[in-house]
Structure formats: structure tokens, C-alpha cells
Structure 1
Amino acid sequence: MESLTIILSGGLFLSFLWIIINGLFYPAYPKPMKSAIPPLVSILVPMRDEERNVLQLIENFKKLTYSNLEFILLDDHSSDSTYSLAVDSTKKDSRFSILQGAPLKKGWAGKVHACYQLSHAANGDYLLFLDADARLKKNTIESMLPFFQNEKVGLVTGFPRFPVTSWLSKLVVPMQHFVIWLHLPLALANYSSYKPASAAHGAFMFFERSAYDFIEGHFSVKSSIVEDVHLARVMKEHGFQVKLINATPFVTCHMYETNQEVWNGFLKNIYIGIGKSPLMAMGLTLFYSLFYIAPLFLALLSPFYGVWFLVPLLLVWMQKLYIDLRTGQLAYLFLFMPISALAFLVILHASMWKSWRKQHYIWKGRAYK
């Protein structure tokens, strides 16, 4: 038992050093752009049953300080009042266009089809695709455009800050940042064309227009339900750079409100996100069970075997706290990291089981495999 404690402590200490070093390869924010003739930026939002978000989204857009914007929102056959709310709240602002989506084509994923339509309606030199639950800091656009001064950059994306409310969202949603900082070599993601080292977040996808058109945009990933990562890979495949930034200072995403939404949202993405690889799923299960769940049980033994049995759990907490502080997350959530790891694995196995049984994933009234 003591040897296990030593092994876990050593591994967790090294992985903590890796997390700190890895985070240094997030690109630094350049100075906000000031231009005599600012390029047109199209902000594009697919919406399906977004009644609770649409008014706050539009108010957020009206506060943006960049001077040359157009906003195009597409209602994708909502069953609620999304469309009427959007129309009523934008009547007096000519920068807004509210579209009604065409019927979903066979072979297309719903969000991808909506984004494809939005891209064809856009006039901008740059295209920013946002989810309806995303909110931007007022100077976000002028702060992001300097990334494109390198003409090879085709896409700027990043994981937002995630306000969390329900208990399952507190356990699972912040794990997105943890997985990126721990598992993704950010040097390869940001400074190489190596496709497997690619990540993106669909809530914030900022494209240079000619690069987007060159890869045929969302048409190139038309059947994907993890289109964000697949678009990043296609960008790299065609020689464009993808900048994965720590977007938390500028972008907030109120990702899921209820426990059921958290479950269904991660269920449809998590197994597909690892390439439907049973080997990868088993590897992650062993890794997280050993390094992030077992330390809790060792800590419970510390009154009997000594204070050293607390060390692995303290290192787990230090890792999670460091990432949470760097990403604007609730500070106390680090205490629940072993339970978060367990919840992550439960959803992973449920998603894998659903795939093996060839059952559909259900999201916003649509079924996907």
C-alpha cells in the first residue's frame, strides 16, 4: 500500500508540472486591433429552442464595441418562441438579420446544417460562429482579430468560462478544461499541423473567411456531431493554423442548465470525441481510476497508516484548483475532483454502451448515431 502511495504521488507531481508547463503554450493575447477601415465581422448563431437565451444573447451583442459587425441568427425549426422573440427584439437594429432554417437535409447533422446556411448568408471578411448560450466581453472582436495577422491562421477557437449551477454540471462541465490542460499537448495543437493534437469548442469558432471557404466550411464535416474538432483537423489538413486559446477572459458559455441536459449533452459527444475507440476508453478508465479516484480512498486510510496517505489526494486537488483558477471556475469545486472523475467515467461508459448497442443519441428532439 505504501508503494502505491509513492507511485501515485510521483505520477501526480509530474503531471502537475506538465499541466503548468503545458499551459504556457496557450497563445498570448496580442494588443487589440485598431484599424482605419475595420474589416466586417459576421457573428453567426444557430438557434433551436433557445427561448431562454435569445434575449440575453441579443443584448450582449448590442454592447460589443467593435464598429463593423453584422449579426445573423438562424432559427432551426424551434418548437418555442425563439424566432418571434429574436424578431421583436432586433427590429430597430439594422445590423441584425433573423433567418428561418431550411428543412434538415439527409446526411447532415442539425447544427452543422444551420451553420452552413448561416455562412451563405454572411458578408463578413471574418465569420464568428457562436452558440446561443455564449456571451462575449464587449471588446472581444478587436481582441481576437490580431491573431489573424499571421496570414496562415484560419481558425481561432477556445474553451469558454463555464458558469455552473446544477450538481452534475459542477462535477462534469469544468472537466473540459481539465482534460485539455492534462491530455492535449498545446505546443502541437497551436504550433504544428499534427491533426490528432487538435481541439476546438463549438461555442466559439472564429474563422478567416477565405480559409473557411477554401476548406468548404461546414460542408466538409456535414455529418459530424463533434464538428468543432473535425473542422480544426480539416483546417490543419489544408495547411492553415488553428489557434486554441484560453478563451475564458472573453467568452462565457452557460452550457447546460439541468442535470438532464448535462447528461444528454456529454452522452452524445464523449465517446465520439475519443474516436469511438474502446481501447482509449479503457485506457482513460484505468488512468482516472488509479490517479484521480483511488487517492480519495487512500486519504480515508490516513488515520490508520499515516499522513503520507493524504499526499496523492492533495496533489489531485492542487491540479484541479490550479486549472479552475486559470479558467475562472468556482474555487471550491476542486474538492470534488475524485467524484468528477468518477462521473466522467460513468458518462463515458454509458456513451460507449449506447454506441455498441447502435442506439441513437437524442439532442433537442433529433436523433444521432
Structure 2
Amino acid sequence: MIILIPALLVLSALYWAFVALQLLRAMRQVPQLAELQPPPPPRWPRLSLVIPACDEEATLEPALRSRLREDYPELELVVIDDRSTDATGAIVDRVAAEDARVRALHIRSLPEGWLGKVHALHRGVEQASGEWLLFTDADVHLEPGTLRTAVAYCESRGLDHLGVFPEVWSASFRLDVALGTFGRLVALAARPHAVEDPRSRAAFGVGAFNLVRRSALERSPGLSWLRLELLDDAALGQMLKRSGARCGMAMGRGRVGLTFYPSLRELARGTEKNGFAGAGRFSQLRLVLFCLTLLALEGTPFAALLAFGHPLVQLAGGAIAALAVGASMVGSRWMARPVLPNLLLPLGTLFFVGCLLRSGYLAHRRGGIAWRGTLYPTALLRAGARYEFP
């Protein structure tokens, strides 16, 4: 035990130094969409927003109307009501009747061998007429001018794909504590600063805002290749890059936003879909090892503060904890997130680990992952997984 604690502190220090370094690189190299002023293209290409919606009556209409405030000249919205059991379909039809730019598509059944969202996106692409496609979730809000900026930026840099991290709104301090850990680990996995480098394996996509040149999608295996990929947004970016597309990332602070989950309960339920698949890759053992490693790396310095009678251990733990909180605060400020919840960083880590373990337990008990009223067997999802962590 005497040897273990210093070893864990050293590993934790290296981990948080790496987190800080990755953050600094991202802040330096990943642009803020709101600060970009790209030259307009000679001709504005037609743009289709492909928006899947399943039981989204509480959030859909305000988000759709925010997108209809856009003045992009060649715009259409393909809104897919994916087997909704609430008023989503009626909302889609009403908005489509009011604005000719909106096309309503209703899906009544899910074919075998498809995830619901990926199938909805696939059907939406079939109906879309744009040279550019924006895959975006139903609850995402856009500020006016966002689409012009994003398309002009891609055209001026020769990009085929742009993923934009949204500004995430939350309703409580407790939720902010938990979301800090989620955001930090997603950013570490994404390595957004390296996505535009064609020599790097880093590739990513964002469900809130995946802007894709249609010709690049057609040169790739396509959405049918991702039909059983739970991490479909990230896998889309990886598939495009490996097919020769030029990819980039940006931050959506002040331009692209959404309320991620309204409560801790909903956040935990949301993790049921991607937690076991992302952290464990459909293996209970890998999931447990990931959780133990995360607890050791993120929790050790804070635990060391309680090592009364061992001042050197407390001093080292305090220094590493200060680095962890400081780096997390800087990252939160950059992403337009509250900074004070980072003072409770270890609680966010504990909650996240609890969500992951819960997702693994539920997948084991059910024999698969249940989502949006459909149970997908683990063996089927494992065979259909496409995303590879860089």
C-alpha cells in the first residue's frame, strides 16, 4: 500500500497533465464557429437538414423554428418522425404545412437489422436534395447565420465534413457537476485538434451538428454500413475520413446549443445506450476495468487529501487536485459551461462511473441494449460495431 499510493499519484499527475495538454491544443487549434468570418462561396450550394425525431414533442417545435429563422438561400429541412407515440408527428406536419422548406417523413416500422436513428437518417438522405447534408438532432437550436458560416467555412477550406460541438445548457448545479465529466471524456476521445490533420487517425462526429458534403458520403460505405452502430455520430466522421474525406471540427458556443438532459435521472437513462458500447465495447470485463482505471486516475489525488498523518501524500494530492480542477475550469469556460461545478469534480466522476456500471448491468440482465422501445441483442450490436477508438 505504501508503494501503491505514490505510484497512483504519479499516474494521476501524468493523466491530468495529458488532459491539460490536450485542452490547450484544442483551444489553440479548434475554431469557435461564432468567431469565423469565411468568404462566401461564389454560389450557395443547396443544403438539406436531416432531422430524426422520436417522441420529441417537448422540444421539437422550438428547435425547428430556430432553424427556420435561418436565411440560408437554398435550404430544406427533412424532418423524420421515427415511430413516435406522442404528438411529434403532428408537430412535424403542422410546421411543414406552414413552411414550404420543411418536408415531413413518417416512419411506421423499423426494418430488421437497423438501429432506429440510423435508419431514420438513411431514409432522410433518400428524400433530401441538398449538395450538403446536415445531420442534426431534433432538440438542437441554431442561431441565425450559423448555416451560412458553416457552409462557407467548409467551402473555403475544402472540407467535406464539419462536426460542431454544441453549447450544452442544463437546468441545475448537480447536472453541471455530472456533465463536466461527460464532456471531458468525450473531448479526450475525440481529439478534435487532430481531426483536420490527414496524417492523424483522429476522426469524430457530433450528433448535434454533422455537416457532410453529399459527394463525400456517396464515396463512403454509407449509412447502411453504420446500421447497427450505436456511436453513429462519431462513426460517421471516422467512416468519411477513412474514405478520403477532409474533416474538421469546431466549437458551437453561441451558435449551436441544446439541453442535453433535463435531469440526472434522464442523464443516467441516456447512458444506457452508449455507456456499455462506448466504454466497454460490449464487454463487461472491459467496462469494469475502464471504470476502475478512471476512478484511480481521477479520484486518487482527492482521496490523498484525506491521508491524515502523511503530509507529503496530502501535499502531492492537493497539487494534482488543483491541476485537475484548474484544467477542468479552463475547459468549461472555453465551452461556455459553468466553472464552479468543477470544484466537485470527483462527484462527477463517481456519478459517471455509476452510470457506466448501471448500463453494463442492464445490458447483461436484458441480453442487449433497450432503446426507444426496441431491444437490440448484444451479439448483434457487437457484430455491427464500426467505430474504432484512435
Which residue of structure 1 lines up, in the alignment, with residue 381 of structure 2?
Answer: none
Partner of 1:220: 225
Structure 1 pair 35–107 and aligned structure 2 pair: CA distance change class (3 A): same
Q: After superposition, where does 1:286-325 map in structure 2 within 5 Å?
A: 286-301=292-307, 305=311, 308=315, 309-325=317-333
Identify the match of residue 132 of structure 2 among 123, 126, 141.
126
8 Å CA contact 1:324–1:330 kept in 2: the answer is yes
- Farther off after superposition, 5-14 or 323-332: 5-14
2:181 and 2:9 map into 1 onto residues whose CA distance is 26
Change beyond 3 A, Cα 1:327–1:28: closer
Hey, what does 2:277 align to over in structure 1?
272
Change (3 A) 1:335 1:293: same
* Aligned-partner Cα distance in 1 for 2:356–2:307: 29
Q: Distance in 1 between matches of 2:81 and 2:23?
A: 42
The one-letter amino acid of 2:247's match is V
Q: Distance in 1 between matches of 2:218 and 2:108?
A: 21
RMSD, aligned α-carbons: 2.8
How far has the Cα of 1:57 moved from its partner?
1.5
CA spacing shift, 1:164–1:253, aligned 2, 3 Å: same
Judged with a 3 Å threshold, the aligned counterparts in structure 2 of structure 1 residues 120 and 26 are, in CA distance, closer, same or farther, namely same
Residue equivalent to 1:205 = 210
Amino acid at match of 1:334: N
Going from structure 1 to structure 2, the CA distance change for 1:71 and 1:250 (only over 3 Å counts) comes to same
Tell me how far apart the structure 1 counterparts of residues 332 and 126 of structure 2 sit (CA, whole Å).
Answer: 38
- Residue 223 of structure 1: CA displacement? 1.6
Deviates more, 1:340-349 or 1:23-32: 23-32
CA-CA distance at 1:122 after TM superposition: 0.6
Tell whether 2:21 aligns with 1:15: no
SS in structure 2 at match of 1:162? strand
Match of 1:350 in 2: 358
Checking the alignment, whether the CA contact within 8 Å between 1:71 and 1:97 is kept in structure 2 is: yes
Q: 1:87 and 1:142, CA in 2 relative to 1: closer, same or farther beyond 3 A?
A: same
> Conserved in 2, the CA contact under 8 Å of 1:9 and 1:315?
no
SS of the residue 2:89 aligns to: helix
1:42-82 deviation per Cα after TM superposition (whole angstroms, max 9, x unaligned)? 11111111111121012201221322211111111211111
Aligned partner of residue 75 in structure 1, secondary structure? strand
TM-score of the aligned structures, taking structure 1 as reference length: 0.88
Q: What is residue 341 of structure 1 aligned with on the other side?
A: 349
Listed as ranges, the gaps of 5+ residues in structure 1 are: none
Looking at structure 1, the residues matched to 199 and 227 of structure 2 have their Cα atoms a distance apart, in angstroms, of: 22
Shift of 1:302: 6.4
2:160 is paired with a residue whose SS is strand
Question: For residue 168 of structure 2, what is the amino acid of its counterpart?
Answer: F
- Match of 2:180? 174
Deviations along 1:151-173, whole A, 9 cap, x unmatched? 86332113211112257643433
Cα distance in structure 2, aligned partners of 1:214 and 1:241:
12
Structure 1 pair 219/102, CA: closer, same or farther in 2 (3 Å)? farther
Indicate yes or no: 2:106 matched with 1:100.
yes
Task: Find runs of 4+ consecutive structure 1 residues off by over 6 angstroms.
Answer: none
Who is 1:160 aligned against? 166
| Percent of residue pairs bearing the same amino acid type | 21
Task: Tell me the TM-score normalized by structure 2.
Answer: 0.84
Give the total of aligned pairs.
368
Residue identity opposite 2:165 in structure 1? F
Equivalents in 1 of 2:207, 2:175: separation in Å? 18
Amino acid at match of 2:155: Q
Choose 174-183 or 41-50, whichever is displaced more: 174-183
C-alpha change, 1:333 and 1:162, in structure 2 (3 Å) is same
Q: Is the 8 A contact 1:41 1:126 kept in 2?
A: yes
Residue 22 of structure 2 aligns with an amino acid whose one-letter code is I
Partner of residue 147, structure 2: 141
State the distance in 1 between where 2:167 and 2:44 align.
28
Counterpart of 1:72 in structure 2 is 78
* Contact kept? 1:33, 1:145, Cα under 8 Å: no
User: CA separation of 1:5/1:50 partners in 2, compared to 1, >3 Å: closer, same or farther?
Assistant: closer
- Please tell me whether the aligned partners of residues 198 and 229 of structure 1 are also in contact (alpha carbons under 8 angstroms): yes
Cα contact 2:64–2:138 (8 A) shared by 1: no
Q: Which of these residues, 234, 238, 258, is aligned with residue 239 of structure 2? A: 234
Distance 1:62 1:37 in 2: 21
Worse-superposed segment, 240-249 or 202-211: 240-249
Paired amino acid for 2:338: L
CA distance in structure 2 between the partners assigned to 1:17 and 1:260 by the alignment: 30
Give structure 2 stretches of 5+ with no counterpart: 378-390
Q: Given the alignment of the two structures, is residue 253 of structure 1 paired with residue 258 of structure 2, yes or no?
A: yes
* C-alpha contact (below 8 Å) 2:118/2:226 kept by paired residues: yes
The whole-number CA distance in structure 2 between the counterparts of 1:104 and 1:168 is 36
**Which residue of the partner structure matches residue 380 of structure 2?**
none
**Inter-partner Cα distance in structure 2 for 1:281 and 1:150:** 42
Letter in 2 for 1:327: M
